[in-house]
Amino acid sequence: MIFSSGTNCDEETEYAFKKAGGEVFKLHINYLKRNKKILKEFHILSLPGGFTYGDYISAGKILANELRYYFQEEIKDFIKEGKLIIGICNGFQILCKAGLLPGFDDYFSFPQVTLTFNDSQKFECRWVSLKVNHNSPTPFIKDLDEIIELPIAHAEGKFFVDKEEVLKKLKENNQIVLKYINNPNGSIEDIAGICDATGRIFGLMPHPERFIFPLHHPLRKNKVDGLKFFINACEYAKREL
C-alpha cells in the first residue's frame, strides 16, 4: 500500500485486506523513492483514499506526478507480471491523473479521463447504490450482486471525459465496472469505477473498506458488499501469482 501526507484511509484499507486474508505493508511514498525495487516483492498495489498533499493543484495530482516521474518503469514491470492495482477515492483520482487508467494501449500516457468537482459544488458524504457490470474483465467484482451499496466521501468525484471516442472505447471494452443508480456528483454516464483493458487495474470513488462489517451499514445489512472486493483481490493473487 502506497500512501503520502494527507492519506487518511490507509488503516481502514489495511484492515480490510487483512480481514480478507492478505498480508499488508504500508509504504510511504518517500520511503519507496529510496527503495524502488521493493515493489517486486508484492502482488497487489493499493492506493487508499484521503487527500494526498491536501489535494493542492487538484485531487491526487501531486502523488500522480510522483508515480509518473519516479516509478514509471517499476509500475510498468508490476503490471507486466500480471499483478493487481486498486485505487480507492483519492487513489482512483491518482490512477486517472497518472495515466494508468483507462490504460487502453499504454500506461502513463497523457490522462484521458479525470475526476473533477461535484455538480453540487460541495462535499458529498452518503451511502449510494451501484450497478455492477459483470461483463467487465476485472477480478475485483467476482460474485458480487448486480446491485450493491457502498459509502462515498468526496468533493471531486465527478467522472469526466471530454472526448467521445474515449467514452465509446470504455463501453466497447466493458471497462466501466460500476455505475451509480442515483448519481451523487454528476459523473458522465453515472460512472463510479473503471478498470484498464486487462481488468487488473481498478479504480472506484466509493469506499469498499468502509463496509466490511454489518454494523457499518445504517440498516445493519448482513451481506457486506465492500469486503468482497478485498477477498477477490487476495484470492486472485494467491491463485494467479
What backbone torsions phi and psi does residue 74 show, to the nearest 5 degrees? Answer: -65, -40
C-alpha cell at 202: 481498478
Residue 125 catalytic? no
CA dist 205 and 93 (Å) reads 8
- How many residues are present in the chain? 241
Q: Which of 154, 156, 209, 234 is catalytic?
A: 209
Residue 209 catalytic? yes
Q: Which of 9, 43, 66, 89 is catalytic?
A: 89
Residue 89 catalytic? yes
Q: Which of 43, 207, 216, 217 is catalytic?
A: 207
What backbone torsions phi and psi does residue 176 show, to the nearest 5 degrees? Answer: -80, 110
What are the b/e assignments for 201-222, b being 16+ CB within 10 Å? bbbbbbbbbbbbeeebbeeeee
From 44, 202, 84, select the one nearest 26 (Cα to Cα).
44
CA dist 113 and 115 (Å) reads 7
Catalytically active residues are 89, 207, 209
